[in-house]
Amino acid sequence: MSQLQGRILFEGETFRDTDFGDRTFEGAQFIDCQFDHCSFRGTQMTECSTRHTTFNECDFTLASLGTSVHTFSQFLNCTFANTALFSARIDQCKMVGSTFEQAQLSGVEIKGGDWSYTVLNDQVLKGQDFSRAKLINASLQRCDLRRACLRDSDMTGALLDGARMKGADLRGATVDRVNLAAVNVTKVKIDLEQAVLFARAHGAIVELD
């Protein structure tokens, strides 16, 4: 850990089972680092940035990550319970297995990435760009996905029960093993193949000849 223009810099460092709880890393930069089983409970990380950094099974409960920027980083099986992520930017990151129970995601900007096996129930994700993202077995129950772009994403096995989808774009998305009968597709953009799948899921007899 060093200082760069008055800001804390972590570069090329590895930490395991380290407790960073309740510390202040506002505006800190994390580049090419590895954090395994570390605690960031209650840590102040507003305006921090991560790039090509991996957080494996780390705890961000009650941490403040508002207006932070994350690019090509990995947050694997991390806990974001009651975490403040307002106006954060998450660009092409791997978030596999992470949970976001009561996390504050207002104003967050998501672009692609791998969100497989994440738990995002009840979150407001309207207008987010999940195009070409992986959402395999993600739990998106009761999410607000209005106007979200899900084009060409892989939503295999995703849970969408109760999700609000008005204006979302699902064209080209893989929806295998999704309970389509639980999805309200009113004003949702879908392609012809998906239209057939949704119709059958709602009891229609589809004859294509």
pLDDT digits (tens, 9 = 90+) for 162-175: 999 999 999 999 99
Cβ pair 89, 65 in contact under 8 A? no
Answer with the residue of higher pLDDT: 182 or 138.
138
Which among 103, 30, 29, 31 has a CA at the least distance from the CA of 66?
Answer: 103
Rounded mean pLDDT, 77-97: 97
The H or E element containing residue 196 is helix 192-201
Span 6-62, pLDDT tens digits: 578 999 999 999 999 989 999 999 999 999 999 999 999 999 999 999 999 999 999
Under CATH, what is the fold of the domain 112-209?
A: Pectate Lyase C-like (2.160.20)
The pLDDT score that the predictor gives to residue 17 is 98
**Which range among 63-67, 69-73, 152-156, 183-187 shows the weakest confidence by mean pLDDT?**
183-187
Answer with the residue of higher pLDDT: 133 or 1.
133
5 has a pLDDT exceeding 60: no
Which among 1, 63, 60 has a CA at the least distance from the CA of 30?
Answer: 1
Percent of the chain with pLDDT over 90: 84
Helical segments of the chain, H only: 192-201
pTM for the predicted model, two decimal places: 0.91
DSSP structural state of residue 134: B
Distance CA 62, CA 68 (A): 15
Distance CA 181, CA 52 (A): 39
Same fold, 1-94 and 112-209: yes
Spell out the domain ranges in the chain: 1-94, 112-209
Under CATH, what is the fold of the domain 1-94?
A: Pectate Lyase C-like (2.160.20)
207 has a pLDDT exceeding 90: no
